Amino acid sequence: MASAVERFDDKARQTFDRFGRTETYQGELLRHPVYTRFLHWMVALFFFLALFSGFGIYLPWLFRWFTPVFGGGPLARAMHPWFGLGFVVFFALQMLNWLNPMKWTQADTKWMRNIKSVISSQDELEPPDTGFFNGGQKVQFWEIVAGCVVYLVTGIILWAGARTFGRWPVAISYVLHDISALIMLGGIFIHIYLSTIGEPGTFQAMTRGAVSEAWAWTFHPAWYKEVTGRDPRQACEEARRRGEFAER
Ligand code: HEM
C-alpha cells in the first residue's frame, strides 16, 4: 500500500503534469517530471536569494554592493530569513519527492569507496550498478538535508535574537549557520559544474525533463537497464559501431 508521502507526491506530480509538458523524442528517456523540475528551480532560486542577501549581512565590507538589489542593507537583513525559509520549505518537498531514488544502497558505498578510480577511469561508462542517482549525488543530497536542519534551528535562534535565547546560543548559531552555508556553497559549485559542462547532456534533465539514452547508459547504467531492459554496455557498443556515440 502506498504511504501518505507517496500519495501526496503522486497527487502533486499529476497536478503539475496538467500545467506543463515533458516531451521525450526517439532515443530519449524521461528523467524528471514537471513537479520535480518546478521544485528544483524554486530550491535554486531561494538558495541564491538567501545566499546573496546573506553575503551582505555576513561580510558587509566586502559584499555591500549586493544589498541594493534587495532595497538596501536593512531590507536585505529583513528578507534573508524569509528567503531561507522558502529554501528550506521547497527543499523539504524535494526531499519527499526524491526519498526513494535517494535511498542509500550497497552500490553507493562501493561508488564512494572507488571514487578516485571512478573519476580517473578511462572507461566512458560509470560502474554498471550506478542507478538513478550515484553515490556522490546522494551524499550531496543528504548533506543539503542536514544543512537545512542546521539553517532552520540556528536561523530561528538568530531571528529571535539574544533577548529570547541568550548570548551563547546566538553566538554558536552564527558559527554553525555560516559553516553550513560555506559547505553547501562549495558543494553547489561542484554541482553546477557537473550538471552543465562537466557531464554534457545533464542540464536538459532539469529543463526539458528528458535525457538521451546515451547519457543514461553512460552516467547511470543500472537505471538505463531498469527502464529499457537493455544491457548498457551492449547498447553503447552498438551505437559506437553505428558511429553514434558522440551524440551523448
Ligand atoms: C544554476 C544552478 C543549478 C543548476 C544548473 C542545476 C542543475 C541540475 C541538474 C541538471 C540536475 C539533474 C541531475 C540528474 O538528473 O542527474 C540537478 C539535480 C539536483 N540539484 Fe541542481 N542545479 C542548480 C542549483 C541547485 C541548487 C542551488 C541546489 C540546492 C541547494 C540543487 C540541488 C540539486 C539536487 C539535490 C539534485 C539531485 C542530485 C544531483 O543531481 O546532484 N541544485 N541540478
132 lines ligand 1 (CB under 6 A): no
CATH classification code of 28-96+122-242: 1.20.950.20
The alpha-helical segments, DSSP class H, found in the chain are 4-19, 34-58, 60-63, 73-97, 106-113, 115-120, 135-160, 162-165, 167-193, 203-207, 213-219, 221-228, 232-241
Q: Rounded mean pLDDT of 151-164?
A: 96
Atom 6 of ligand 1, residue of closest alpha carbon: 192
The CA 90 to ligand 1 mean position distance, Å, reads 13
Among 120-124, 149-153, 201-205, name the one with the lowest average pLDDT: 120-124
Name the pTM for this structure.
Answer: 0.94
Residue 63, Cβ density class (10 Å: 0-12 exposed, 13-18 middle, ≥19 buried)? middle
The percent of residues above 70 in pLDDT, for the chain, comes to 98
Cα–Cα distance between 6 and 222 in angstroms, integer?
Answer: 23
140 lines ligand 1 (CB under 6 A): yes
The CA 6 to ligand 1 mean position distance, Å, reads 22
pLDDT-derived band of residue 246, with 50, 70 and 90 as boundaries?
A: low
Q: Rounded mean pLDDT of 2-31?
A: 92
Asked if residue 111 lies in contact with residue 135, where contact means CB atoms within 8 angstroms, the answer is yes
pLDDT of residue 136: 97
Cα–Cα distance between 34 and 17 in angstroms, integer?
Answer: 6
pLDDT higher than threshold 90 for residue 244: no
pLDDT higher than threshold 60 for residue 158: yes
pLDDT higher than threshold 60 for residue 248: no
151 lines ligand 1 (CB under 6 A): no
User: Which cell numbers in the block locate residue 168?
Assistant: 551563547
Q: Please state, as a whole number, how many other Cβ atoms lie within 10 Å of the Cβ of residue 243.
A: 8
Atom 10 of ligand 1, residue of closest alpha carbon: 203
Q: Rounded mean pLDDT of 233-238?
A: 94
Q: Rounded mean pLDDT of 186-194?
A: 97
> Considering the chain, what is the average pLDDT of its residues?
93
pLDDT of residue 59: 86
The minimum-distance atom of ligand 1 relative to the CA of 184 is 30
Cα–Cα distance between 178 and 151 in angstroms, integer?
Answer: 9
- Domain-by-domain residue ranges, the chain? 28-96+122-242
pLDDT higher than threshold 80 for residue 182: yes
pLDDT of residue 239: 92
Atom 4 of ligand 1, residue of closest alpha carbon: 192
196 lines ligand 1 (CB under 6 A): yes
pLDDT higher than threshold 90 for residue 247: no
205 lines ligand 1 (CB under 6 A): yes
pLDDT of residue 243: 81
Q: Rounded mean pLDDT of 109-135?
A: 89
